[in-house]
Structure 1
Amino acid sequence: MTITPDRYAAVKARHRAAILAAATAVLTEGGVPALSADVLAARADVARRTIFNHFASLEDVVLACLEDELNSAISSVADAVDRSPTGGAQRGPLDDLETSLRGTDLPRVVSRIARMLEGPGSSEHELRLQQQAMAHLAGPMTEQVRHRHPDLSALDAALVTGSVLSGLTVVARVWLEETGGSLDPAGRRRWEDLLDHLFRTLRHGFSPAPLSPEGL
């Protein structure tokens, strides 16, 4: 029986989706150490070789899963920017970015990604994730800023977006260290406090800590 190109593409897409869905489930349940080719093949109901027809390595599978999570965040951020009000000269790009981040459930995304990366040897994945996050979020967010602020230069749009995202990476790391990614009310309040600190610092600069009596 001859398989037409369209049918072949559909089968290939279905296999890839099944692999990613299975990998996401395994990573959410047990982190990176729980993922193996045998486990993934069984959960996705595909042959081992099918996995490596789609991905060069299991690490690439992990990164593809994280990319899906980030793409979800990208869509939420873009939607939040579109929903935010325009305020003429009184409302700048930093205000739009703050509104968008506060209108997006980023704590849930950050917490899910952290669970997916849990386990020994996850530091390299975390570093690559930060690079992926910058690459994937910066472009769409910069375009949204330029769309809403057409008088802003491309350089300034990229600078303000990059500054926010770099700070957000630090906020996410500190939040995870302090709360363990908890989504309870206390964890969410801490996230909001850290966002407050981030945008206050971006607007007004760093406030040096007062010297202790010993340091005077």
Structure 2
Amino acid sequence: MAEGMGLRERKKMQTRSRLLSVALRMFSERGFDKVSVAEIAAAADVSKMTVFNYFGSKEELICGPLEDHVGDVARTVRERRVGESASAAVHRAYLAALVAHDPSVGASDNPVALSVRRLMQETPSLLHRVYGLQYRALAELAEVLTEETGDPIGSRLAAGLLFEVRTTLIGENHRRAQGGASMEELVREGRETAERAFAMVEQGLGDYATRSG
């Protein structure tokens, strides 16, 4: 990624990465709530303002990357193929991300990604932030379905089913990765689980919200 960047962009990426690395180390040692932004800045040898230039809050240090994926499921459904149902589109996109070892679906054994996940699970304030992002993602998906079907109740129900199955699968991927599963094992077992899970959803949703030509 850094190869196509200019010097300024590379330095910004390096600073951002260093701040995250320092923060994770300190959070792991002392706990998220017992570390201040000022302490992170001092340990990273930058000003407190520099930290806030990269991250709007201490929570964003950890949860910021999730912001980039809030609209993933809604976008998948909005841009699905002609003749493809909402469920089939989410299923297809999830499997593609899984095979690509995309961290956004938990298909990564990167130590930083695993540390972030553990910290989220162990810190109530971070979990609260994560749940808020998930609610936004669910609302965006329901809005897309409502725009197409004119059925707000059915859309919310369908969005809830699709979002829940995807969230459950991602959680299972994280569990496997944290348990030491290889990426080959994770992807193989993840695909089998996904096929079973989406089959259960599709029995209920069927061809709901299939895009017409």
User: What is the TM-score when the length of structure 1 is the normalising length?
Assistant: 0.60
Paired AA for residue 168 in structure 2: V
CA 1:26/1:116 → structure 2, altered by over 3 Å: closer, same or farther? farther
Alignment map for 1:29-48 (pairs within 5 Å): 30=25, 32-34=27-29, 36-37=35-36, 38-42=38-42, 43=44, 45-47=46-48
- 1:73–1:120 Cα change, 3 Å: closer
Q: Is the 8 A contact 1:84 1:96 kept in 2?
A: yes
Q: Structure 1 residues 119, 140: closer, same or farther in 2, change over 3 A?
A: closer
CA pair 164-114 structure 1, distance change in 2 beyond 3 A: farther
- 1:24-69 Cα distance to aligned partner (Å, 9 max, x none): 3335x64832563355213271138x86xx87xxxx523x244422
Q: What RMSD, in angstroms, separates the aligned Cα atoms of the two structures?
A: 3.9
Task: For 1:152 and 1:99, locate their aligned partners in 2 and report how far apart those are by CA, in whole Å.
Answer: 25
8 A contact 1:23–1:40 mirrored in 2: yes
Which structure has more RCO (C-alpha within 8 Å, separation ≥ 6)? Answer: 2
Taking the aligned partners of 1:44 and 1:145, their CA distance within structure 2 comes to 48
Once residues 154 and 44 of structure 1 are traced to their aligned partners in structure 2, the CA distance between those partners, rounded to angstroms, is 51
Written as runs of structure 1 = structure 2, the 5 A alignment for 1:98-137 is 98-104=91-97, 107-109=102-104, 110=106, 111=108, 113-118=113-118, 122=122, 124=124, 127-128=127-128, 130-137=130-137
Query: What is the distance in 2 between the residues matched to 1:161 and 1:120?
Result: 24
Structure 2 Cα separation of the partners of residues 134 and 81 of structure 1 = 16
Larger Cα-atom Rg: 1
In the alignment, structure 1 segments of 5+ residues that lack a partner are 1-16, 206-216
Pairwise CA distance, 1:92: 2.6
The superposition leaves residues 177-207 of structure 1 with CA deviations (integer Å, 9 ceiling, x where unpaired) of: 23327572222222222221221121237xx
The yes-or-no answer on 1:141 pairing with 2:141 is: yes
Distance 1:133 1:31 in 2: 25
Structure 2 residue runs of 5 or longer lacking an equivalent are 1-12, 205-213
User: 1:67 and 1:170 mapped to 2: Cα distance?
Assistant: 19
Correspondence 1:41-190 to 2 at 5 A: 41-42=41-42, 43=44, 45-47=46-48, 61-62=58-59, 64-87=60-83, 91-104=84-97, 107-109=102-104, 110=106, 111=108, 113-118=113-118, 122=122, 124=124, 127-128=127-128, 130-147=130-147, 150-180=148-178, 184-190=183-189
TM-score of the pair, normalised by structure 2: 0.61
Cα deviation code 1:65-99 (max 9, x no counterpart): 44422222235445544553110xxx332223223
Q: Which residue of 2 aligns with 1:196?
A: 195
The answer (yes or no) to whether the contact 2:142–2:159 under 8 Å persists in 1 is yes
Q: Secondary structure in 1 aligned to 2:70?
A: helix
Residues 164-188 of structure 1, C-alpha deviations (whole Å, 9 max, x = no match): 2222232222222233275722222
Identical columns (%):
10
Work out the CA distance in 1 between the residues paired with 2:189 and 2:45. 38
Tell me if structure 2 keeps the 8 A contact 1:138–1:161. yes
8 Å contact kept, 1:74–1:136: yes
